[in-house]
Structure 1
Amino acid sequence: MSFKTFRDTCIEYLNKEDIKRDLKEILKPIVSTIYNEIYIYIWLICFYNVVFIFIVLANFILLVRFLKKPPGEKYI
């Protein structure tokens, strides 16, 4: 006598194709609404990351130039 755990029962239920399709149809408007609300913030985060990468690169280049100068030479 083997009893399925609740987890196994849920997984078996969710593996059915018609259930998957119904869940996708139910969640589609919810996901679309959430995406439309956070769309601008996603673009702002992407823009911030690009600017941040350029700032880090500029700092790295300045550091390399600073470290390669001979001791008696002025830096600016």
Structure 2
Amino acid sequence: MTEKITVPKLRGVENYTSWSADLRIILKHHKRWTWIEGANENAPPTFITDASSTKPNPDYATWEEGADDAMFRIVMTF
């Protein structure tokens, strides 16, 4: 059985240490910690262009999904 993890809302310096530790665990569990560390700081190109066409870059879609998910999980703790 999976337990639900609840992170208390951030209340400034009052609970920053425990909040950041909890958030780190959640982001690592969901494989989103790399967005915090900066490994995914730069998005790949949105489109791929070759000699005959321009098409969406699937790497960009994957990057954007990860960035959106990380942001959602952070914002939900404020």
Pick the structure with more helix per residue: 1
TM-score, with normalisation over the residues of structure 1? Answer: 0.30
Pick the structure with more strand per residue: 2
TM-score, with normalisation over the residues of structure 2? Answer: 0.29
